[in-house]
Chain A
Amino acid sequence: MTPRHRILSLTSLAVAVLWMAGHGVRAADGVANAPTLKQPTSTECVPSSDGFIRRWLILEPIPAGGLTDGAVQALVKKVHFPDQFTGLPKDGDKASPTGAELVWHAVETTEYNVNLFHFARALGKPTSNVLFWGVTVIHCPEEVKDVRLAIGSNAASVWWVNGSEVIGIYGDRQTIIDDGVSKRLTLKKGANIVRAAVVNGGGATDFCARFLDANDRPLKGFSVRLVGESK
């Protein structure tokens, strides 16, 4: 490593530490032990080459049961924490949906999917009969019309974009790319909040999500920041 590279590396590290401090990302987190997840070290990222959103805030699992349409809808409509459908937590924020204190974790997957089994196991949390809440923010340079959110999940899941419920898939199921797809929607210029509730029965659990453009091709050209509009 040349002295110049060393200076650049140190500078990058300092920027990352400052960003993490500013966004509440803790320097060490059990999530780091998850084989397919890492903590974000930059202010933003872009979707993968095939459009998957890799950076999310995930709340530690809430005990839950039932995968039928009715059971899942009743579960996600129940208020688990304040601002459930409007808030934008930060890494390290806490919620107490069942009395026990649960923590939001900023994660970035190295794969197309977010492995919730890895997430929970790395934190020593249960992986079966649980509900995971996830949220991310995508920033669009311009308004984009006629796009669709396209997700897969293990198992049932419900999804919201900017507060509107757009997808619900139910039953004991595995993650399939573009399993649940929303109707056509518009992403506004700036921050758009994507929220997910994934309910697992037993075994593996994960999800993947991307947007499709008007021609059903993966949407790119946006960034993922985990924060809303700059004040």
Chain B
Amino acid sequence: MKAAIALALNAVIAEAEKRPGSIIMKSLGSLGMLFALTTTVVALDGEVRIHDPSTLVQCNGRFYTYGTGGTCLVSEDGWTWSRGVTPPRRGMAPDIIHVNDRYLMYVARNVGAQPRADINLIWTTSLDTQSTEAKWEEAGVVASSDGIEDCNAIDPGLLLDPNDGRLWMVYGSYFGFIRLVELDATTGLRIDAQAQPVNLAVNCEAAILIHEAGWYYLLATHGSCCRGADSGYNIRVGRSRNVTGPYLDHEGVDMIRGGGKLFAGSGGRVIGPGHFGRIPLGAGIEKFSCHYEADLDRGGASVLDIRPLLWKDGWPEAGENLRDGTFQIESVRTGTALELAIEGMPVGGRRERRGGAGAAGIGAGGPGAGRPPGGGGGPFAGIGRPIPNQDVAQVSTNWPAGEVPLRMANYLCQAQQKWSITAVTNAGGYLGSPYFKITVANTDRALAATAEGELAAVPAFTGAPEQLWQIDQLTDGSWRLQPKSTPGGSEPLALSAIGASFATLSKFDAASNKHRWILKAP
């Protein structure tokens, strides 16, 4: 059912592409214009319509993913996507893995009434269609279901075990079991075609295995697919010390009895996440790919997304890409917050520490002035009414007009400590997100990298690379902030709390808290 509807969706898109003057294409075009005019931060940019995307792979610096019906999406930076070349074998819900210089793609097809299906292997040494090596080879069937047995041999998912280099494939969809077979990492074919597959789970599809810190995790998609905004798709997970299971969820329920801890469900304006694919990006940072059955901002289309992958208490969690907002930027290392290096004004104005004579701020006004009736006086009584936030236009009159150094301090709700983080349109991006500008809230003063590898706030955002920030959520949920580039610099640098009162830029070190930041609502 899922595959049929997905194929229909792709057919509509393909038809629209073939007939640029058609009503369908005009509608999609109008929709695209609407997105262009109204978009702030959405799930990826460009052409992202896909169903059942494979795990992302890289080739010659580009990211690739393949979906049902032969959809191929390609991106230079992981943010802006375009349609790539369909591989010769179209089918359902492929998965792809790069092993020993070969890209192994496993593609399923129905070979009769469901659940009669098989999974075929095709391979190539390059996904870059400009390369002379880009030639897909057929390698045959690696798994099948006969239509009677308790399995539907579609939705393959691959794991190259980091411990021993063994290659595993899980497959299956709702009819009966999710099954596990071992593949030859060199040929991509079954180690033993006669070996009985191992049953791992039921009542799900789009399964895939990952390994982390001594555990195997089986991520599989529960719920119904292919019903647009009415799809109950959600990604669930169980774990085991052995690749062959049993895979238990956080409540101890075996996935072979329907268990599964929620990893990602619907939220915001996207409905029905499914088809998890892991994207490791080095120490301390991971992401995952999935599709949503319906992106309400894209007319309910099925679209690709890339989100942070977090780890908490031994379980993977789905992080959220950063959205526009105003934040305090607090160092995990020091607990202090980034601010302009200017003399701050206490919120509500200055007052004497003990409420003495000459108080100029909120404590001023004479004995008992403004204090709540019957509440008692003294230095802790407050003023008896809410104190408004600082108006940056008012408190910034003494701030230097030019470039201002940065520093860190205890957060005191002051204007120079509040930062607006805003997606920058048409400036490109990185895996899952556009670049952001970081400005002192309600001002144009923008955080920038300097040629010395230090920080400054420039008077106005110009869009220069040193003012564009890549903001990635790390696996512990904290954030890494990196300028797109540093003037004259060649290696990526990250915002670093080198001292309690001073921040700089330095090479990211996943083992240190100095590059980890918390973005808090002020």
Contacts and interface: CB of A to CB of B under 8 A. Distances in A.
Interface of A: 68-70, 148, 150, 152, 167, 169-171, 176, 178-184, 212, 216
Contacts of A180: 499-502
A69 B343 contact: yes
A181 B498 contact: yes
A169 B501 contact: yes
Contacts of A70: 343
A190 B286 CA distance: 47
A184 B453 CA distance: 9
B506 interface: yes
Contacts of A152: 500
B413 to A, nearest CB: 15
B504 A176 contact: no
Contacts of B343: 68-70, 170
Most buried by A among B452, B499, B502: B499
Interface residues of B, number: 14
A148 B454 CA distance: 12
Given A180-B500, A184-B454, 13 more contacts: A68-B343, A69-B343, A148-B498, A150-B499, A178-B498, A179-B499, A180-B502, A181-B499, A181-B504, A182-B502, A183-B504, A184-B452, A216-B514
A179 B497 CA distance: 10
Contacts of B514: 216
A212 to B, nearest CB: 7
- Listed from nearest, the 3 A-B pairs whose CB atoms lie closest are A181-B499, A69-B343, A181-B502
Nearest to B409: A171
B498 A216 contact: yes
Contact of B498 (A171, A176, A212): A212
Contacts of A167: 502
A181 B454 contact: no
A216 B502 CA distance: 13
B162 to A, nearest CB: 29
Contacts of A181: 498-499, 501-502, 504
Interface in B466-522: 498-502, 504, 506, 514
Nearest to B507: A215
Contact of B452 (A169, A179, A183, A212): A183
Most buried by B among A152, A176, A178: A178
Contact of A178 (B409, B454, B500): B500
Given A69-B343, A170-B343, A176 B500 contact: yes
Nearest to A176: B500
A183 to B, nearest CB: 5
A60 B452 CA distance: 38
B506 A216 contact: yes
A132 B444 CA distance: 39
B454 A183 contact: yes
Nearest to B350: A68
B49 to A, nearest CB: 46
B499 A178 contact: yes
Nearest to B512: A216
Nearest to A169: B501
Interface in B374-415: 409
A150 B500 CA distance: 10
A1 to B, nearest CB: 47
Nearest to A70: B343
B514 to A, nearest CB: 7
Interface string B56-67: 000000000000
13 contacts: A69-B342, A70-B343, A150-B498, A150-B499, A176-B500, A181-B501, A181-B504, A182-B502, A183-B452, A184-B504, A212-B498, A216-B506, A216-B514
Nearest to A178: B499
B125 to A, nearest CB: 40
Nearest to A183: B454
Nearest to A180: B501
Nearest to B342: A69
A68 B350 CA distance: 11
A150 B497 CA distance: 12
Contact of B500 (A69, A179, A212): A179
Nearest to B496: A216
A181 to B, nearest CB: 3
A181 B342 CA distance: 16
Contacts of A178: 498-500
A179 B498 contact: no
B224 to A, nearest CB: 52
Interface in B320-354: 342-343
A148 B502 CA distance: 11
A148 B505 CA distance: 13
A113 B452 CA distance: 30
Interface string B165-190: 00000000000000000000000000
A176 B453 CA distance: 24
Contacts of B498: 148, 150, 178, 181, 212, 216
A103 to B, nearest CB: 32
B344 to A, nearest CB: 8
Nearest to A182: B502
Contacts of A150: 498-499
A182 to B, nearest CB: 8
Nearest to A216: B498
B374 to A, nearest CB: 33
Interface string B437-478: 000000000000000111000000000000000000000000
A65 B452 CA distance: 35
